[in-house]
Structure 1
Amino acid sequence: MTSTDKILEATPGSVERAPEPNKLRGDLNTFQLLFGILAFNGPLVGVMAFLPLAIGYGNGLGAPAAYIAAAVILGVFASGFLKMSRHVDNPGGFYSYVTLGLGKELGLGASFLAVVAYYTVLLGMYALMGVLISVYVAGTLGGPDIAWWIWAGILQVVVGIFGFFNIELSARVLTVFMCCEAILILAYNAAVVVQGGAAGLSGSSFLPSHIFSGGVGIALLFALLSFTGFEVTAVFRDEVRDPDRTIPRAAYGHIALVGIGYAVSTWVIIQAIGPASAVAATASDPTGSVTATVQTYLGAVAVDLVSILLMTSGFASLLAGHNILARYLFNLGVDGVLPRPIGAAHARHGSPYRAAILASGLIGAGYVLSVIARPDPSILYAQLWGVFGLALQILFLLTTVAIMVFMWRARPEDATLWHRLVAPGLALVGLGTTMVLAVSNIELLIPGEVAVTITVVVLVGSIVAGGAYARLLKTVRPAAYRHIGRR
């Protein structure tokens, strides 16, 4: 017992303990946590940019069914994931799960992979947002033509400020942005349905001949990648109200909203363009084809509103992603893998403020490299998003195996055969199939042969580096090794 604990116990009427220096604090409810997950996905970006890819490059008119199938796979995965969460009493996300199930070496390898994944996708999103703002200011508003990386730097400062404070401040902002996006998406869906689409409403998307046509595997791959951010439910464990209830509600709510919502919106896009033309239109111009239907069914003002909300959606994704990356760095600091000061929580805000500053610094370093290398920011975004998507698939697979091993070895009393074997086994089949599809169609995820080679080296190297560092810690700093994953 620490001296502070003794003082508190000896003080008459004391009802509140001093805050722990390595414990994050927050009071997020189910809706705030849910909106935080959805914000990372960027629902409007998904509808405008990613859903048409599933139509044009996937199984065509049957694409809506891919999102239902992906929701089923993630729902089965969540069954074991959430049951195991009761035995993972720290907010390490995939890092903690893999450590508990597969050991410290693979656990630290998974954490390194997660850091690389979220870092790369943030760099890509900042590049995309810098381009969007630059084009909007110079083209639409007639303002100065400012380089994309300057706008990205300004965004990073704003996001960094939010990351410094308590998570509830970010949650309020994300809630507002998510509501605006949801209203616009619902308005678009309703307008298309009420007006009967381009050639009358059709249910042909749900015929088996269309569901299993074309590149059904590609559609499933894009659909599963639309559920990014799922692990946020575990990463924010210390910052939610009643985690044993809030986390499952938010997780299943996320799966249901994304699965059903994206399936409906994909069907609506097909109806808006017309089933006879939808596949060709979305394959030749994914975003442009959807934007054209927005103008047709909602008018030019709605198109302008989409441009604005795409930027706010991107900002929300950046804010959510920054919070996730900061918490991974924070947990590595708490565990002594990184310098322990990084794992300090702010005394007043209960936020991972030092880890948030470190995350901002790493992003800033990425800007410097971007300015020197002078890449095309639009291609850079596509490549880095693909890196993140592939890394996420690896993390899902590792976590699924970790759940199976832990459940079978520990046999928790509250876990049935479904949780121990059936659910993780089914999830492993679904996610493993998706992983094979991702690798065999990697050029769709990561444009460019050089980029593919670099991606494989970086992702595999991060896992190997994490495992090697864990072995090194076991030899030179055994106390730090024992704390990996806080086990």
Structure 2
Amino acid sequence: MSQSTVAPEPTTTGAPARRLRGSLGVASIVFIVVAAASPLGVIGGPVPIGIAFGNGSGFPFTYVIATVVLLFFAVGFTAATPFVRSAGAFYAYVDKGLGRGPGIGAAFVALFSYIALEAGVFGLFGPGLNGLLTSWGLPQGQWWIYALIGLVVVGTLGYFSIEVSGRVLAVLLIAEVLIVLAFDAVVVFRGGGPQGFSTGIFDPSQIVSGAPGFGILFAILSFIGFEATAIFRDEAKDPDRTIPRATYISLILIGIFYAVSSWALISANGQKNIVTIASKNLGGLLSDTTTRYLGLAGGHIIQVLFVTSLFACILSFHNIVSRYLFSLAKNRVLPHGLSLPHPRFGSPARASVTTTIIVLVLIVAAVALRLDPIAQFYTWLGGISSVGIVLLLALTSVSVIRLFRKSDHGLSSWKTWIAPGVGLLGLAFFLFLILQNLPALLVENGGAPWAYGAFSWGVLAILVLAFVAGPVIAAIKKDVEVE
């Protein structure tokens, strides 16, 4: 990974430069984005849930569906990249296609969604680290103590050059991917599990069994973070080429990894019994299965890397949130002081500190309200994030189609409306599934479809208010502009 430029960026007016600096290549951005997806965390979390309450042995195929839909989305998203010069990601695309008000509204929805996810994952990280240390003989501690320790480390790394975070994420990501691939290889080498290799991934009757919609829901949530490639535009080498390549590579790698690894997990336990086994052992399915195939050492390694995977996920989203704050401040939506990069590191240092403070407030609030870190803090904030991100993906697809309707910029119909249109239809279906199953995500009213309670309505209200704030601010602040 290349080093960040540290020389001051010249300006014609003598005012401080408000552009981040760096020289991230395709590999660096892929590491950051894939780490945000938390591959090991997904295999140990959403995958057992998708198997147990979704479509059982057919669940791996849902990753194929999700990958295909998101690749259609990526065609329009990456085709528009050369015409969207800002590093504002979602809201820059929405601004180009639908106008200033919706663009700012999309920015606030994205900001709320990513902050919620960063803070919420601490609800998994704290208990996870606590449990890991307890298994090593250390005394039981409070989850929030470990969460705060993790927050300090994340905030420190976020303060420095993006290359520092990139190196940390690369090490953690390679370690967690290698252990899962080792497990996959052993399962294949041994000829599968008690019933051989699972055929559910190819069997239409298994793919549509159970609740395939719920399975697709957890599959699409496993990809959250891939779209953040565009947020690193200012820190990328040759962004018009780097961002599209990083987007496609991230999507394909994530999709293949999830499909193959979930298939291996099912094969290792036997597809006829997997639903029962997963239902009884949601939290320990991966570690227990790994211990059987890789021995006690493999089980212990999985425990350690599960915690570091969550840390990598938090760090990735911290970097994303910081850059959203920086970009919004640069465009005068938020206080302009947040858009001053660090003079030496070229990083969004002030925005990173602000992000750390916001997450700190959320963790302190959770402790003060005595929320359960997983059942309440994580699931509630995860609900906000899941609805918000899929909504933003769909809104971005509409914006890309609208952008190319104004002018096709010499591109083919495939890139300007066919592929984006297909992606939009798929994302609209995913959004429907998430809204239908939101009570299940929030563990509310027995999880019955459309059985909305206070928390479900609260999630929707927060996102609606965040989006509506965009047009209001655009009308009040006349100096807002997306650069």
Say whether the 8 Å CA contact 1:64–1:205 is kept in structure 2. Answer: yes
Q: Which amino acid aligns with 1:226?
A: S
Specify which of 313, 320, 325 is matched with residue 317 of structure 1: 313
- Is 1:85 the counterpart of 2:89 in the alignment? no
Partner of 1:143: 138
- Is 1:479 the counterpart of 2:474 in the alignment? no
Q: Which amino acid aligns with 2:470?
A: G
Q: How does 1:315-464 map to 2 (within 5 A)?
A: 315-379=311-375, 380-413=377-410, 415-448=411-444, 449-464=453-468
Partner of 2:188: 193
Partner of 1:468: 472
Residue segments in structure 2 that go unaligned for 5+ positions in a row: 1-8, 445-452
Cα distance in 1 for partners of 2:118, 2:11 equals 40
- Is 1:47 the counterpart of 2:43 in the alignment? yes
Identify the range of structure 1 (397-406 vs 274-283) with the bigger mean alpha-carbon deviation.
Answer: 274-283
Q: Alpha-carbon deviation of 1:4?
A: 6.0
Say whether the 8 Å CA contact 1:159–1:319 is kept in structure 2. Answer: yes
Larger radius of gyration: 1
Say whether the 8 Å CA contact 2:108–2:470 is kept in structure 1. Answer: yes
Partner of 1:262: 258
Partner of 1:308: 304
Q: Alpha-carbon deviation of 1:288?
A: 2.0
Say whether the 8 Å CA contact 2:38–2:310 is kept in structure 1. Answer: yes
Q: Which amino acid aligns with 2:259?
A: A
Partner of 1:13: none
Cα distance in 1 for partners of 2:207, 2:287 equals 25
Say whether the 8 Å CA contact 2:121–2:310 is kept in structure 1. Answer: yes
Identify the range of structure 1 (161-170 vs 374-383) with the bigger mean alpha-carbon deviation.
Answer: 374-383
Question: SS where residue 104 of structure 2 aligns?
Answer: helix
Q: Alpha-carbon deviation of 1:390?
A: 1.1
Q: Alpha-carbon deviation of 1:5?
A: 5.8
Alpha-carbon distance change, 360 to 213 in structure 1, aligned in 2, over 3 angstroms: same
Partner of 1:14: none
Question: SS where residue 203 of structure 1 aligns?
Answer: coil
Q: Alpha-carbon deviation of 1:398?
A: 0.7
Q: Alpha-carbon deviation of 1:44?
A: 0.5
Partner of 1:66: 62
Say whether the 8 Å CA contact 2:57–2:271 is kept in structure 1. Answer: yes
Identity, in percent, stands at: 37
C-alpha RMSD of the superposition: 1.7
Q: Which amino acid aligns with 2:326?
A: F
Say whether the 8 Å CA contact 1:127–1:381 is kept in structure 2. Answer: yes
Alpha-carbon distance change, 217 to 4 in structure 1, aligned in 2, over 3 angstroms: closer
Alpha-carbon distance change, 34 to 94 in structure 1, aligned in 2, over 3 angstroms: same
Say whether the 8 Å CA contact 2:16–2:340 is kept in structure 1. Answer: no
Partner of 2:171: 176
Q: How does 1:223-238 map to 2 (within 5 A)?
A: 223-238=219-234
Alpha-carbon distance change, 43 to 6 in structure 1, aligned in 2, over 3 angstroms: closer
Say whether the 8 Å CA contact 1:387–1:446 is kept in structure 2. Answer: no
Q: Alpha-carbon deviation of 1:261?
A: 1.2
Alpha-carbon distance change, 200 to 89 in structure 1, aligned in 2, over 3 angstroms: same
Question: SS where residue 400 of structure 1 aligns?
Answer: helix
Specify which of 138, 141, 149 is matched with residue 154 of structure 1: 149
Question: SS where residue 345 of structure 1 aligns?
Answer: coil
Q: Alpha-carbon deviation of 1:240?
A: 1.3
Q: Alpha-carbon deviation of 1:58?
A: 1.5
Q: Which amino acid aligns with 1:453?
A: W
Q: Deviation string for 1:145-198 (max 9, x for gaps)? A: 332112111111111111111100100110001110111011110111112222
Say whether the 8 Å CA contact 1:407–1:419 is kept in structure 2. Answer: no
Q: Deviation string for 1:347-396 (max 9, x for gaps)? A: 11110011011111111111221121010001121222222111111101
Alpha-carbon distance change, 4 to 148 in structure 1, aligned in 2, over 3 angstroms: closer
- Is 1:167 the counterpart of 2:162 in the alignment? yes
Q: Alpha-carbon deviation of 1:203?
A: 2.5
Q: Alpha-carbon deviation of 1:108?
A: 0.7
Cα distance in 1 for partners of 2:15, 2:179 equals 42
| Number of residue pairs matched by the alignment | 465
Cα distance in 2 for partners of 1:111, 1:158 equals 26
Q: Deviation string for 1:284-317 (max 9, x for gaps)? A: 3323223221111111111111111111111111
Cα distance in 2 for partners of 1:290, 1:386 equals 24
Identify the range of structure 1 (167-176 vs 221-230) with the bigger mean alpha-carbon deviation.
Answer: 221-230
Say whether the 8 Å CA contact 1:387–1:445 is kept in structure 2. Answer: no
Q: Deviation string for 1:190-222 (max 9, x for gaps)? A: 111112222212434311222222222222221
Q: How does 1:111-126 map to 2 (within 5 A)?
A: 111-126=107-122
Say whether the 8 Å CA contact 2:105–2:468 is kept in structure 1. Answer: yes
Say whether the 8 Å CA contact 2:101–2:470 is kept in structure 1. Answer: yes
Residue segments in structure 1 that go unaligned for 5+ positions in a row: 8-17
Cα distance in 1 for partners of 2:226, 2:304 equals 26
Q: Which amino acid aligns with 1:191?
A: V
Partner of 1:132: 128
Q: Which amino acid aligns with 2:458?
A: I
Partner of 1:15: none
Question: SS where residue 479 of structure 1 aligns?
Answer: coil
Partner of 1:295: 291
Q: Alpha-carbon deviation of 1:141?
A: 2.4
Q: Which amino acid aligns with 1:170?
A: S
Q: Which amino acid aligns with 1:456?
A: L
Say whether the 8 Å CA contact 2:115–2:321 is kept in structure 1. Answer: yes
Q: Which amino acid aligns with 1:479?
A: D
